[in-house]
Structure 1
Amino acid sequence: MSGKLVVLTGPSGVGKGTIVHSLLNRYPDLYLSISATTRSPRAGEIHGKDYYFVNNEKFEEMIRQNQLLEWAQYAGNYYGTPRLNIEDKISKGFIVLLEIEVAGAKTIKKTFSNVLRIFILPPSLTELENRLRGRATDSEQAIKKRLKLAKEELAVSQEFDKVIINSNLEKTLEQLELIIFSA
């Protein structure tokens, strides 16, 4: 079996993290790429497991040294994908999952022409707002910023290879399994 890069994206709060963790529980042979970010860790997040948490200077050095497959600024912070083991894992036949923000997902095609890009939609903007508020991790200002950005991101969803509405986790996972393992 040949390896491939599968990108999951969508607005903040759409459930990307939950989806990825569920897929990894079902398929432990999937390789999850860990992104770098300049945002502060949320409660329970671990450096090197959830993200590589770095400061702005380190991130900008990674950009200059071409150590990132893609990078973007989102909600006032840098996010990017370190090359690290991704190319090696793909060459060894692994399916590499990459959970990234929409801006990065749009540009990854320049680095990997054979990438499978999947956009996760919320059932509605109201539901997305409820999910963001339910996390209780962001200030009111941050939530408003994320919702404004989500509207812009939803407008480009059709530019991606596949689009899935995450209204029911089990159905979403079934759709993703079909797409990832048959493509």
Structure 2
Amino acid sequence: MLGSNGRNNIFVFTGPDGSGRKSVAEAVGQTFGMEKVISFVTRPPRQGEVNGHDYHFISNEKYREMELAGEFLESVEIDGQRYGIRSADIENKLHHRDSVYLIMNHEGAGILKNIYGDQVVRLFLYADRRTVEERERNLGLPEETIMKHLNHYDREMSYRHSCEHAFENYDLGQTTYEITNELERYLERGLIDKD
């Protein structure tokens, strides 16, 4: 099934940890009835994360097995943990839907862009370092995790200018509204009153 622009759309929400990319992505995905492609990861779930919804949490052994079988379209290592997307998951969802979305760091977003080209639309979400740090503390993340994320902040922020769209995210409702307006141009679902 192709979108109104004559192709399937793969929307990638990216940006620094703590930018709110997950909350915004899920709100926008729900608005458009898009399915999320879920990554596989070797780290344990964080507080509030659900297996099969946030990530597929698997062992290092299982990850290696899948990687050796060539299942991953993209595979990256961040702070000693492996993250990967299965090509079959993207293809299967696009077979039934005109659009899917993913939540990824800049490395994964770049790999997907190289593979799928114009089908991939990268939506970069960001907030200032202090806000990001506060959000992560409010989530109850361990101090060590917050520091690791902040160490990646500048590198993630430098990816902003490579993305098709960038949005400051200080208000979930406002950011979701802005992105919904932007994606309406790709999807033409008639959700936005243009008057």
With normalisation by structure 1, the TM-score equals 0.90
User: Which secondary structure does the structure 1 equivalent of 2:116 belong to?
Assistant: coil
* Structure 1 CA distance for aligned equivalents of residues 28 and 107 of structure 2: 23
Give the letter for the 1:47 counterpart.
Answer: N
Distance 1:44 1:135, change over 3 A: closer
Q: Percent identity?
A: 28
The residue aligned with 2:73 is 69
Shift of 1:24: 3.5
Shift of 1:50: 2.0
Displaced runs of 4 or more, over 3 A: none
* Ranges in structure 2 where 5+ consecutive residues have no aligned partner: 187-195
* Structure 1 CA distance for aligned equivalents of residues 84 and 150 of structure 2: 21
The residue aligned with 1:165 is 168
CA contact (8 A) 1:7 1:97 kept: yes
The residue aligned with 1:107 is 111
Give the letter for the 1:153 counterpart.
Answer: E
Residue number among 125, 143, 148 corresponding to 1:145 in the alignment: 148
- 1:98-146, Cα deviation, whole Å (9 max, x unpaired): 1112211121112211211111111x111111111111122x2221111
The residue aligned with 1:118 is 123
Q: Which has the larger radius of gyration?
A: 2
The residue aligned with 2:189 is none
Give the letter for the 2:137 counterpart.
Answer: R
Shift of 1:21: 2.5
* Ranges in structure 1 where 5+ consecutive residues have no aligned partner: none
Q: After the TM superposition, which residues 40-51 of structure 1 pair with which residues of structure 2 at under 5 Å, given as runs?
A: 40-51=44-55
The residue aligned with 1:81 is 85
CA contact (8 A) 2:15 2:21 kept: yes
* Structure 2 CA distance for aligned equivalents of residues 34 and 97 of structure 1: 9
Report the RMSD for the aligned CA atoms in angstroms: 1.7
- 1:121-174, Cα deviation, whole Å (9 max, x unpaired): 11x111111111111122x22211110111111122111111111111112111
* Structure 1 CA distance for aligned equivalents of residues 49 and 147 of structure 2: 23
Structure 1 residue 179 corresponds to structure 2 residue 179: no
Give the letter for the 1:58 counterpart.
Answer: K
Give the letter for the 2:158 counterpart.
Answer: A
With normalisation by structure 2, the TM-score equals 0.85
User: Which secondary structure does the structure 2 equivalent of 1:84 belong to?
Assistant: helix
Give the letter for the 1:167 counterpart.
Answer: Y
